[in-house]
Structure 1
């Protein structure tokens, strides 16, 4: 009885365990994972290129999720992508492409961000309701994708390319282009021979030009040496000018010192003159009472000779002599200040500085006359002018050669045009082949004539040099 119960319990427990294992297996196959932190979002494609559920999703080349659902629609296909970790933040502006790779053409989704996220966006949780969809792709968002590398597009491009190469018109154009290229190569070889002849003549002209340039260089070197000597002389002259300027500065300083040192004396002299003038005015004003006193004295003498005021007359005369002595002393002070030895020495120094300045100016003028009157310097300048004249003539000859080269280019164009016209004519008979050759030769005749016109004329013989029969 107990064993039966144990058997029945074991069967029931086994059934429950099997049922639980089956349910877990079904949930696992459907992608149910209760402990994982995943999020999903939808991507719209115009064409998924054979994409299937369970395909790999890669972010920067690393597998980060898979495709869990594909829903076709009228205007496109929606693919639901599941990212395996909520810690992976995908920028909103990332490029989402459906690419085919491998031998079997397996389609995967590649997510490539175009720029890095800011530091304040690294803390966003894509599963949160506060997720900022403007910065990152959040849970249940919808974005647009595009087709990347596809074998179907590659096959279509190969088919279009094969059709293009298989077109008879395109093949005929390629053949015609090859023939024209061969004819053009022949014309170019002929033109190369003519250009080689032209280059030889130009090389000879350049040799003459180099000789003229060497002579001009030698003359320029000599002129540079003379200019260096002249520069040294000018430097010496400038030094003399600087010395002269220093002496002038000393002269100005001496004049300033003279004015500064004699300023007190001049002020005292002016004060003395002012006092003297005041004393003279007082003296003149004092003469009028004296005259009046003399008149009264004469009257008194006339009235009474015995009562003459001799004492008052003597006092007035004494005052007059005192005033005259004071005026003479003031005049003596003025003449002493003007005849001071210090002032005479300062004036003598001023005259010496002016004399030295004029002597330096005379030396500078003599140096300039010596520089401009040097015959060797004038001959060097003359040689420099002659060298520049030969240089100008050589440049004119080079311009003529350049004009010849520019004229050869239209001749080459005419040759190519004639050859292309001859190549386009249908090749039917031997007689028809000879006609283009004749046309080509006829078209080349003006070219040789033009080339002969471009070449320099042959030197004419003097009538005396022609042999007589």
Structure 2
């Protein structure tokens, strides 16, 4: 009986010892996770919207958990102040210009606070300092943006559906181009003409290149004119002579114009004869009288030659002319 009681007592003692050991292990484990036995300091952040943060959520710095959320309380009129319990080991990495933002532990995990270390130009934070807020898009904002993008995508898809339907039915310029064979044929003809025009332009460019090469030839006429000073001077002299001849021709033309202008005036004899009908009639009468007088003079001369008084003189004159 005594042996049985001893065994029972030993068994109960062992179970009590194991229970106490498990309890202590659990306390130390939970304390280690909650940083209960680690020296900490406090930082504060004021958010407009904490997006579901809760007391006990984690605080991360460069991907490392450095603390937890100690307290959440309202601040001012509509803001929320979040108190952070930070491990003392991270004190030497957080500067006064550091910023805090709210993020998620994974896509749909718990909300966490992420701290940016700041610049080395600023001193380290002190216990009770308030960090600035790094405003970033929250998950709700991202979801709202995705919803707006989805609506826009639906609208665009609807528009493309209508556009494709119009193209199939041959509506609009593009639809007619795709369904009307005559328009397609005309378009092919236009493209062919453009190709021919392009080929002609290329051919012309080649010919111009050849022509320019001929001009640049040292034995060419143009190059000789541009390079040979003697030929250039001769050409310059020829041009000067041609200019002089052109000036002389211009002077002669001007004189002819003046003479023709005088012929049209009645203040000179030739112009009077050409333009005055009365003078012309008188001149005709004078010429007629002269002709009549010459005929009468011939008749008188014949009469004198027949006259016996002058017959000997005229015969003598005829012999002298004959002998000469």
> Normalising by structure 1, what TM-score?
0.34
Q: Who wins on radius of gyration, i.e. which is larger? A: 2
- Taking structure 2 as the reference length, the TM-score comes to 0.47
Higher helix fraction: Structure 1 or Structure 2? 1
